[in-house]
Structure 1
Amino acid sequence: MKPYENFVENILGAVRSSQGKNPAAATAIIQEALQAAGLMGAATPPTRATEPAGKAPFVDLNPPPAWSPGARRRAAGPDGGTGASTGASASGLQDWMARLKAGLPGQGMPGRDRSVDPATHGPGQFLEGSFTNEAGTRRYRLYVPAKPASGPRPLVVMLHGCKQDPEDFAAGTTMNLLAEESGCLVLYPEQAAGANHSQCWNWFEAKHQQRDQGEPSLIAGMTRQVVREHGGDPGRVYVAGLSAGGAMAAVMAAAYPELYAAAGVHSGLPAGGAHDLMSGLNAMKGAPKKMRAGAKLGKPVPVIVFHGDRDAIVHPSNGQAAFHQFTQDAGGRGLEQREERGQGHTRVMALDDAGRVVAEHWLLHGAGHAWSGGSTAGSYADPSGPNASAEMLRFFLGD
């Protein structure tokens, strides 16, 4: 059995065997399944980044999960009374499913180096900011090239994967260094640990796949704010991501086709490929049949997809499904395709009626779950293979 099949089968088996058990016992079963798949190590205490002197503390408006210690302390009140019960629910299954979705207890995020090195992150400014709307608050980093702008700048929105942050993702993809050459702004939204303990974008939940709702509304609002305040070109805004970030990039392109001129999906999944945690795990095992055929979008945007054929976390069929999803015309017919083989990869291009390439699918032979052509200065990056960042910028900017 392949690694990704072993992982998902262990999780699904744990789900079935733990039904009816109390939350602690169910969580132990899930932990055993993750350890058996080699995806869970020893617990690491969380480290909180130090805020710069004089800077107002960051406040996330998302309420803590009902099972969390913080929520229980809130319910208990300042005098330590019991208050409303949050430790037990009508269904133990719902409780431990919430634990799995947010990250298992004891799996704190490792300490992170949030320092910025010009050699890694570029010679320009790497600004910090945040955006707030009804769905909550999210931090971000924004790279502004040192080279003076000659006009409105293109903007690339980069969505990190699980257990990553903007500094790590920028280092691994080297997107800032390439953006310095092309004069692009690069925006890195940061998922909050309060929304997902492993800092994954919640691409698999229906409420986070809709226009003007949840995380899509935060990312879109942040994008508009940066375009408005930092001289971005509204007609040249792009979105890309890795893994959970790649899946969310597909969601953003599907939900906001007037905002994003093109999308990049690396080791991700098609938009709408799941509607909850369990369907998300199944989708990671292999794209649903209807998605493999290509679910029709209202207004597809140009897309470039990268996926390793040895990806043990997200099955490669999801890359194919994302490509098909964005390559249907108004009548639901697939566009003309051409294939070319390169060193270690196969590239399929979809052409519109005018003969222009509007979508590309790069199948990376022998590659796993990592950003192709990236830098080991960041996580989940593979220096070998085509440079995904450079190819995405070429595709986006038409160079």
Structure 2
Amino acid sequence: MQSISDTIKRLRKLRSAHSSAPMFEDRLTDLGPFGSNPGALKAKIHIPNGLMPRAPLVVVLHGCTQTASGYDHGSGWSRLADDYGFVVLFPQQTPSNNANTCFNWFLPGDIRRNQGEAFSIRQMIETVTSTYDIDRSRIFITGLSAGGAMANVMLATHPELFAGGAIIAGLPYGIATTVPEAFDRMRGQGLPGAGGLQTLLLSASKHDGPWPAISVWQGTKDHTVVPANAFAVIEQWRGVHEVEFPPVTQRIDHHQRIVWRGADGREALVLYQLGGMGHGTPIDATSGYGKAGPYMLDVGISSTQHIARSWGLIASFEKRVNLDPGTLREPSANTFQSPYSSEQGTGIQPTIEKALRAAGLMK
């Protein structure tokens, strides 16, 4: 079992490696003032040349030890925006808020509606939306790790803002209030049961629908934010989307994609299980969008492209979905089992492992 000190040492080591990496072209510019900014964040933005009115907006949140520009370089979001004509907003954490530049996804004062960092991000979005004539029905958010957890904070506290969200190696909303609790939850310890997770989401705002579509991206070998959190995020949103098992399982670029559809037939929840991947954002270095580096893992699938396609921002691309007809099926109840089939507190790891074995991702 990894201790908190071990995790902190690993984060610092990765930050040091990242800071000594070669310089790259910074494609982002400062947003400028964006309201009262109670969370004391910074913001960067990328505006494509010749931006058309009513363009979509994508909000991208970096992970711990990263910067907005570094994450853009690794993920390729600004280059995709140039090719397809949408705006990208990058909130930027500061060392004065968090020594490892993690968004404070677990601090009560930063994750409530109209408070702290969450409200700062809300103010950034409003500034960009008003300044650049953004289509308010096409605002999306994604993030990695602490940025993924903060993306989930925004989706939970301001669901009316977003048409969709993509959480990469992130965590459920509202499950921790202190640093020790945050590290426990990252390791899968003390996660609430289904009812508790869904209550936390419903308590975050007074919204009663419609709800943003959610995709969750998780490496099966992630030892920093363990796969239990991906299942928990899906379960947290499954209640409001009123999806039912069984989902549909597909193979996509040699990884597994599990889809839950809503009553209207749309993809309400999607879980990407990335076989053998550790902690980071999945990229395809051959796609032209993104570069491998710390937390940017070349596993042959471009999460940036797939996320943008699912939001209707780009058309189909060559490596869009490599389906094996034998794997596209309605799985039986034994193929995928929710680790949250009944109310529970701690001790869910055996059920998580059972679900992964049933999906063919563990032996």
Q: For the superposition of Structure 1 and Structure 2, which TM-score range results when normalised by the shorter chain?
A: 0.7 to 0.9
Residue 241 (structure 1) aligns with: 143
CA distance 1:355–1:189, shift in 2 (3 Å): same
Q: Which residue of 1 aligns with 2:306?
A: 391
Return closer, same or farther for 1:345/1:230 CA change in 2, 3 Å cut-off.
same
The question of 1:303 aligning with 2:214 is answered: yes
Deviations 1:296-355 (A, max 9, x none): 43344211110000001100111111122222247x664662112334311111111121
Larger Rg: 1
Query: Judging changes above 3 Å, is the alpha-carbon distance between structure 1 residues 229 and 306 closer, same or farther for their aligned structure 2 residues?
Result: same
Please name the residue that 1:135 is paired with. Answer: 38
Tell me if structure 2 keeps the 8 A contact 1:168–1:378: no
Partner of 1:93: none
Structure 2 contact 48–85 (Cα < 8 Å) conserved: yes
**How many Å separate the matches in 2 of 1:149 and 1:247?**
30
The answer (yes or no) to whether the contact 1:292–1:317 under 8 Å persists in 2 is no
> How far did 1:113 drift?
7.4
Distance across 2 between alignment mates of 1:251 and 1:149: 29
Task: Report the TM-score, using the length of structure 2 for normalisation.
Answer: 0.75
CA drift at 1:145: 1.0
TM-score by length of structure 1 reads 0.68
Letter in 1 for 2:218: H
Asked if the contact 2:139–2:163 (Cα under 8 Å) also holds between the matched residues in 1, the reply is yes
Secondary structure of 1:238 counterpart: strand
Higher RCO (CA-CA < 8 Å; seq separation 6+): 2
- Aligned-residue offset at 1:128: 1.1
Equivalent pair of 1:161/1:242 in contact (CA under 8 Å): yes
Q: Which residue of 2 aligns with 1:179?
A: 81
Partner amino acid, structure 2, of 1:271: Y
Deviation at 1:382, TM superposition (A): 1.1
Structure 1 match to 2:327 = none
Task: Provide the rounded CA distance (Å) in 2 between the counterparts of 1:291 and 1:233.
Answer: 37
| Counterpart position of 1:258 | 160
Aligned counterpart for 1:324 among listed residues 235, 240, 252 = 235
Choose from 52, 57, 60 the match for 1:155.
Answer: 57
Closer, same or farther: CA 262–174 of 1 in aligned 2, 3 Å = same
After superposition, the C-alpha distances for 1:3-62 in whole angstroms (9 at most, x for unaligned) are: xxx32xx23xxxxxxxxxxxxxxxxxx4xx458x75544997xxxxxxxxxxxxxxxxxx
What pairs up with 1:81-120 in 2 under 5 angstroms?
Answer: 110=19, 116=25
Is there any run of 5+ residues in structure 2 with no aligned partner, and where? 203-208, 285-289, 316-363
Counterpart pick for 1:282 among 165, 174, 184: 184
1:127 Cα deviation from its structure 2 partner: 2.3
Cα distance, 1:213 vs structure 2: 0.5
Partner of 1:361: helix, strand, or coil?
Answer: strand
Hey, what's the Cα distance between the residues in 1 that align with 2:127 and 2:264? 34
For residues 66 and 14 of structure 2, the distance between their equivalents in structure 1, rounded to whole angstroms, comes to: 18
CA positional deviation for 1:379: 3.1
CA 197–210 in structure 1, closer or farther in 2 if over 3 Å, else same: same
Q: Helix, strand or coil: the match of 1:180?
A: helix
User: What's the counterpart of residue 102 of structure 1?
Assistant: none
Cα deviation, 1:109-130, whole Å, max 9, x if unaligned, reads: 947877635xxx4xxxx32123
Contact 2:18 2:294 (8 Å CA) reproduced: no
For structure 1, list consecutive stretches of 5 or more residues without a partner in the other structure. Answer: 1-5, 12-29, 45-107
Cα gap change, 1:307 to 1:41, in 2 (>3 Å): closer
User: What residue number does 1:356 align with?
Assistant: 266
Distance 1:176 1:43 in 2: 23
Distance 2:232 2:79 in 1: 31
1:224 corresponds to 2:135: no
Give me the whole-angstrom Cα distance separating, in 1, the residues matched to 2:256 and 2:62: 25
SS where residue 188 of structure 1 aligns?
Answer: strand
Deviation, structure 1 residue 385: 3.0
**d(CA) in 1 for partners of 2:104 and 2:71?**
18
CA shift at 1:386, angstroms? 1.7
Deviation at 1:141? 1.3
Shift of 1:234: 1.1
How far apart are residue 397 of structure 1 and its match? 2.1
Counterpart of 2:69 (choices 152, 157, 167) is 167
Aligned length: 299
Secondary structure at the residue paired with 1:305?
strand
Say whether the 8 Å CA contact 1:301–1:326 is kept in structure 2. no
**Which residue identity is paired with 2:298?**
P
Q: 2:296 aligns with which of 366, 371, 381?
A: 381
Q: CA, structure 1 residues 239+357, in 2 after alignment: closer, same or farther (shift >3 Å)?
A: same
What percent of counterpart residues are identical? Answer: 28
Distance 1:152 1:190 in 2: 25
**2:44/2:89 contact within 8 Å kept:** yes
Please, which moves more after superposition, 130-139 or 364-373? 130-139
Measured at CA, do residues 114 and 165 of structure 1 come closer, stay the same or move farther in structure 2, by a change above 3 Å? farther
